Amino acid sequence: MTERALIAMSGGVDSSVAACLIKEQGYDATGITLKLFDNEDIGEKKEKTCCSLDDIDDARNVCRKIGIPYYVYNFKDSFKENVIDRFISAYENGCTPNPCIDCNRYIKFEKLMQRADELDFDYVVTGHYSVIEYDEGLQRYLLRKSPDVTKDQSYVLYSLTQRQLSRTLLPLGKLTKHEVRKIAEKYNLINAQKHDSQDICFVPDGDYAKFIEQYTGRKYDFGDFVDENGNVLGTHKGIIRYTIGQRKGLGLALPHPMYVKEKDIANNKVILCDNDRLFSKELYAKDINLIAYEKLDKPLHIKARVRYNQPEQDATVEQLSDNKLHIVFDKPQRAISKGQAVVLYDEDVVVGGGTIE
């Protein structure tokens, strides 16, 4: 019996080429787009966000061209609960969230996998640039970085479980972006030269604070900028407007540059410091997921990344409990932020990761 594959299609070139390759490989393929929100929900009047009507039309056009069924699934309630609400709560509690990781974790590889089970599909397919392989020696599925380092998305996929990895196909894993566009041109796809989306899909203009205020209807009180000794340096415009390590946009005239070190939520204060005070050598992470190992029985020297575009850094990781990691870097790291993901690598293999606390 031909294996069945459910392809998550955003309307972009990557997921469209993934659909072409899966069909070419002989799978019984169906394309779907996840309807995650209405533009009115996020204060947008125009169809300029990811998964807009234009994107749906592009995805439908690709499916029609390659001869596979196409559907739109409504996941708005799940997206609100698991992505948007988490995003807002993180900022309100002084953290810096990564909604793309939450979307992969709770929507694409949890809710969508459940839908695939209900509809009797064998696999879920996405257009991510990473590689899934089964290691006979370890008897585990591994997640590896893409050879195209400029597009590698293993950082946002660290939360995939063994079951999810076993049921996921990433046909772009070993391709470069240039090769993907060439394949799209070969198939004469309508979106072969479509630009990649760079923003968080529900905050297309990048103004997180404005989105949160519009979405919640709340206004966030002004408060004090203070130094590490508690001396008042000025007035901030709402604690959600600032992230760790930020210098620009503070609106202060100071004798020397100062940066956001932390946020005192209880007292509505933003604490500033000199640049050299932003560096630290260790962190703790919770809500962890390990891929290469079931658990870490002893400290392991690895490389770690504490934000999406950061180069990997040498570090030692120790697992303290089922849900906590302690990571010590060989060299101090700048502006480690609560709420961001720390992802661990052994060469090109994702060891696992967690949420910085």
Q: Do 286 and 248 belong to one domain?
A: no
Q: 188 with 65: CB under 8 angstroms?
A: yes
Question: Is residue 52 over pLDDT 70?
Answer: no
Q: Do 267 and 287 belong to one domain?
A: no
Q: Do 292 and 262 belong to one domain?
A: no
Q: Tell me the β-bridge partners of 333.
A: 280
Asked if residue 15 belongs to a known ligand binding site, the reply is yes
**Over residues 111-126, mean pLDDT:** 96
Q: Do 226 and 177 belong to one domain?
A: no
Asked if residue 352 belongs to a known ligand binding site, the reply is no
Asked if residue 89 belongs to a known ligand binding site, the reply is no
Q: Do 320 and 251 belong to one domain?
A: no
* pTM metric for this prediction: 0.93
pLDDT tens for 242-297 read 999 999 999 999 999 999 999 999 999 999 999 999 999 999 999 999 999 999 99
pLDDT tens for 66-112 read 999 999 999 999 999 999 999 999 999 999 999 999 999 999 999 99
Q: What is the pLDDT of residue 44?
A: 56
- Percent of the chain's residues with pLDDT above 90: 90
Q: What is the pLDDT of residue 47?
A: 47
- Residue spans of alpha helices (H) in the chain: 13-24, 53-66, 76-79, 85-92, 99-102, 112-118, 162-166, 177-186, 208-216
Q: Do 315 and 267 belong to one domain?
A: no
Q: What is the pLDDT of residue 339?
A: 96
Residue 69 lies in a domain: yes
Asked if residue 12 belongs to a known ligand binding site, the reply is yes
Question: Is residue 195 over pLDDT 90?
Answer: no
Catalytic residues: 103, 201
Asked if residue 83 belongs to a known ligand binding site, the reply is no
Residue 264 lies in a domain: yes
Asked if residue 13 belongs to a known ligand binding site, the reply is yes
Q: What is the pLDDT of residue 42?
A: 56
Q: Do 225 and 327 belong to one domain?
A: no
pLDDT tens for 327-356 read 999 999 999 999 999 999 999 999 999 999
Question: How many domains, in total, are found in the chain?
Answer: 3
pLDDT tens for 200-229 read 889 988 899 999 999 999 999 999 999 999
